[in-house]
Amino acid sequence: VTESVTKEVTESVTKEVTKKTKLMERISLIQKKCRKHKPLSVIANELETDPDELCPVYNIVFENTEKTVEELYELLTRGAVC
* Buried b or exposed e, range 60-73, using 16+ CB within 10 angstroms: bbeeeeebebeebb
Res 79: pLDDT: 65
Given a cut of 60, whether residue 80 has pLDDT beyond it is no
Distance between CA atoms of 45 and 41, rounded to whole angstroms?
A: 6
Note the pLDDT tens digit of each residue in 6-32: 999 999 999 988 999 999 999 999 999
pLDDT at residue 82 above 80?
A: no
The mean pLDDT of 55-82, rounded to a whole number, is 88
Decide if pLDDT at 81 tops 80.
no
Is residue 26 within 8 A of residue 15, CB to CB? The reply is no
Q: What is the pLDDT of residue 44?
A: 97
Q: 31 Cβ partners below 8 Å, 6+ apart?
A: 61, 69, 72
